[in-house]
Amino acid sequence: MQKAKAKPKALLLLSGGIDSPVAGHIAMKSAEVVALHFASEKITGKESINKSIKLCRILRIKKLFIVDISDELIEIASKCKHAYYFVLMRRFMLRVAEEIAKKENCSFVVTGESIGQVSSQTLQNMSVISLAVMIPLVRPLLCMEKDEIVRIAHKIKTFEASKGPEYCDALGPKHPVTKASLEKVLEEEKKMPVQKMVENALAKCKKVLLAQYRQKT
Q: Which helix (H) or strand (E) holds 138?
A: strand 137-138
Residue boundaries of the structural domains of the chain: 9-212
* Beta bridge partners of residue 12, listed in sequence order: 35, 110
Give the model's confidence band at 122: pLDDT under 50 very low, under 70 low, under 90 confident, else very high: very high
Cβ-based burial of 175 (10 A; exposed 0-12, middle 13-18, buried ≥19): exposed
Q: What is the dihedral of CA 168, 39, 134, 124, to 10 degrees?
A: 0
| Cα gap 33→27, rounded to integer Å | 7
Distance (Å, whole) CA 211 – CA 124: 40
Residues 150, 71: Cα–Cα separation, whole Å: 32
Nearest to 20 by CA among 134, 184, 147, 158: 158
Res. 117 pLDDT band, cuts 50 70 90: low
pLDDT tens-digit map of 65-89: 999 999 999 999 999 999 999 999 9
Q: What is the pLDDT of residues 6-33, one digit of tens each?
A: 889 999 999 989 999 999 999 999 999 9
Q: What is the CA radius of gyration of the chain?
A: 17
Confidence of residue 217 (pLDDT cuts 50, 70, 90): very low
Q: What is the pLDDT of residues 139-164, one digit of tens each?
A: 999 999 999 999 999 999 999 999 87
- Residue (of 126, 166, 135, 182) closest to 10 by Cα position: 135
Using CB atoms within 10 A of its CB, is residue 151 exposed (0-12), middle (13-18) or buried (19+)?
Answer: middle
Q: What is the CATH superfamily name and number for domain 9-212?
A: HUPs (3.40.50.620)
**pLDDT value at position 214?**
47
- Please compute, for residue 129, the number of CA atoms within 13 A of its CA located in the half-sphere on the CB side: 27
| Dist CA 133 CA 92 (whole Å) | 10
Instruction: Tell whether the model's pLDDT for residue 108 goes beyond 80.
Output: yes
User: What is the arrangement of strands in the sheet containing 9-13, beginning at the earlier edge strand?
Assistant: 137-138, 108-110, 9-13, 32-39, 63-68, 206-209
